[in-house]
A and B are shown apart, each in its own frame.
Chain A
Amino acid sequence: MDDLTALSIPELQGLYGKRAVSPVEVVRAYLDNAGKKDTSVRAFLHLSADDALARARELEGGNPDGRPLFGVPVAVKDNICMRGHPTTCASKILEGYRPPYNATVVDRLIDAGAVIIGKTNLDEFAMGSSTENSAFHITRNPWNLEYAPGGSSGGSAAAVAAGMVPVALGSDTGGSIRQPASFCGVVGIKGSYGRISRYGLVAFASSLDQIGPIARDVRDSAITMQVLSGHDARDATSLPGSAPELVAGLDDGLDGLRIGIPAAMAEWEMDPSIREVMNRTLGELRAEGVVIEEVDLPGMETAIACYYVIANAEASSNLARYDGVRYGYRSPSDSLADMYEQTRGDGFGEEVKRRILLGTYVLSAGYYDAYYAKAQQVKAMIFEYFGRIFERVDLVLLPTSPTPAFKLGERIDDPIAMYLSDIFTTPANIAGMPAISVPAGLSPGGLPIGMQLRAGAGREQTLVRGAMGLERMYGFRMNHRCGC
């Protein structure tokens, strides 16, 4: 048998259908890969090999029909609850915590036949863009171990890029699926706000958070997205009705799609390699006869300032629950008030404290209107902008990140430089739009570059169809192999 870990989900399903391969063989092949590669990449916080093999044995001889992820190994970001398994959010404050329930997405994966093999590293509470803010260890980019995998879903993106799993779940509050997908040369989708249930996702910023898939190609991502999507009564923000069918129309191509590009892009700061890929993409799209139109996007730095006010305000409220009483870590103390302050002071890492304090500041008396209420007005403007844009075009194309992966340690002491690495991704969260990152090429230094598509809220179908068209055009997986 060829390398089982090179197969796509449909190829794997084909072999399962003919009983030419068994779930145990496939899970073992991926676990072997993880065993070899994760000593250097360190994508996983917890690898549950025994549980995964036990689950694969349960599936042996089972019927894959109607189970689109039958026997497919999946990794889950460690801010998503799995009953009885550690869920730390890469924070000391949740060390040792084992949730008594499954997130809805975990139940959906299991119902679809997936085999969850472990929990992946992240920036503490998903706050960061490099996975260096993990309280436990850093993760390295499989394309070059001196570089960051991006973040906050850096463990999930690195695990997929290194072939330790074909699919992983991430969460995206300001770009935390798309930016690491771009840095690691894989595909990442953030759906419309409310498309995927967040029941069991540890909350960071509730008006922005979405769970989504990271996979090696658009089809595998769409198949997984389909499994995860749909209404859930346990999440009050879950979209009603059924989710759009994503897989059937994937091959419809770019014909007839109107694609918008940012009119002000020439003035945006970005690495020359990113600009080069963007220009090449436009040239090829025009050659294929795709209609390209310039659109006015909201000011990027304004959007990111708006994002950091809203995200941190919500985080300061959401993270109030870590009080040393009901779960996780507690610092010893003689009084309750002192116990709260000491527990949170010792249990949270520096970036988390920075964000809680900033969020508390913008919500505090005297500053609320100037920062928080103002940010909500800017958000209303951003909505209106995109509303107008998606009357004219079907998709907006832009890079996922202004740079390829940066070196480990390079930005960790400069919070604003780190925040600006999300400059192309946050508007999709603010306006609740679906967006995807597709690997497009390599920088001269051999690091992946991702291109991003955004669609109007609810238009995931158009999004993945467009992404599939780009993927065919780029042929990234045929031309480039991750060395790790």
Chain B
Amino acid sequence: MDLEGSELEHIERLARVRVSEESRERLRVQLSRIIGFVRRLQEVDTSGYSPRLYVLEVAQNLREDEVGDCLERDEALAGSPDSDKGLFRVPPVIETDGT
């Protein structure tokens, strides 16, 4: 099972992870091998089994919806690489054509 270079680039965009040009081919080969390995799942006869998304059969235990302690704003911002006036600061979100 060979992952195409264009497929890898598509996944990179979906995952928002940029891969360096030097490592892309090695990564493509490794991912192809891993996908080949996990493809063996398709040979398993699972007829009669529904996908099991949960782990243990216990009822959802939701806590009471009560107001509790929460982080102060300064604490929440303290780990940010860039913040200003109590807000996270990021590069421009809406890109313009420069006009």
Q: Which of B37, B61, B81 contacts A240 (CB 8 A)?
A: B61
B30-56: CB near A (< 8 Å → 1, else 0) gives 110111011111101010011111111
Interface assignment of A273: CB less than 8 Å from any CB of chain B: no
Which of chain A's residues have a CB closer than 8 A to the CB of B18? 341-342, 344-346
Which of chain B's residues have a CB closer than 8 A to the CB of A333? 91
Which of chain B's residues have a CB closer than 8 A to the CB of A376? 51-53
- Bound: A384/B44 CA distance, A: 15
Q: By DSSP majority rule, is chain A's interface helix, strand, loop, or mixed?
A: helix
Beyond the given A335-B95, A357-B11, A380-B52, could you list 14 further A-B residue pairs with CB under 8 A, ordered by the A residue number? A194-B55, A233-B63, A236-B61, A240-B59, A305-B38, A305-B41, A316-B15, A327-B79, A335-B91, A337-B16, A341-B16, A354-B34, A361-B7, A381-B44
Please report the total number of A residues contacting B with Cβ < 8 Å: 77
Is the CB–CB distance between A415 and B33 below 8 Å? yes
Q: CB-nearest residue of chain B relative to A381?
A: B49
Tell me the minimal C-beta distance from B62 to chain A in angstroms: 7
Can you list 9 A-B pairs, Cβ within 8 angstroms, ordered by A? A98-B78, A327-B80, A335-B92, A339-B91, A357-B27, A370-B42, A374-B41, A375-B38, A380-B52
A193-206: CB near B (< 8 Å → 1, else 0) gives 11000000000000
Interface assignment of B12: CB less than 8 Å from any CB of chain A: yes
When A and B form their complex, which 4 residue pairs have the shortest distance between CB atoms, in order from nearest?
A345-B18, A376-B51, A327-B79, A377-B46
Is the CB–CB distance between B60 and A236 below 8 Å? yes
Which of chain A's residues have a CB closer than 8 A to the CB of B12? 341, 357
* Chain A 383-404 residues near chain B, CB threshold 8 A: 383-384
- Bound: A337/B95 CA distance, A: 10
Which of chain B's residues have a CB closer than 8 A to the CB of A348? 17
Tell me the minimal C-beta distance from B57 to chain A in angstroms: 9
Chain B CB within 10 Å — which of A193, A309, A320, A353 has the most? A353
Is the CB–CB distance between A305 and B40 below 8 Å? yes
Interface assignment of A432: CB less than 8 Å from any CB of chain B: yes
Is the CB–CB distance between A100 and B61 below 8 Å? no
Q: Which of B13, B34, B59, B62 contacts A358 (CB 8 A)?
A: B34
Which of chain B's residues have a CB closer than 8 A to the CB of A320? 16
Which of chain B's residues have a CB closer than 8 A to the CB of A380? 46, 49-52
Interface assignment of B58: CB less than 8 Å from any CB of chain A: yes
Interface assignment of A219: CB less than 8 Å from any CB of chain B: no
A341-379: CB near B (< 8 Å → 1, else 0) gives 110111010100110111111101000001101111111
- Bound: A328/B58 CA distance, A: 36
Is the CB–CB distance between B52 and A360 below 8 Å? no
- Bound: A234/B93 CA distance, A: 34
Is the CB–CB distance between B15 and A360 below 8 Å? yes
Is the CB–CB distance between B56 and A432 below 8 Å? yes
Q: Which of B15, B59, B61, B81 contacts A324 (CB 8 A)?
A: B81
Is the CB–CB distance between B56 and A193 below 8 Å? yes
Interface assignment of A416: CB less than 8 Å from any CB of chain B: yes
Q: CB-nearest residue of chain A relative to B77?
A: A326
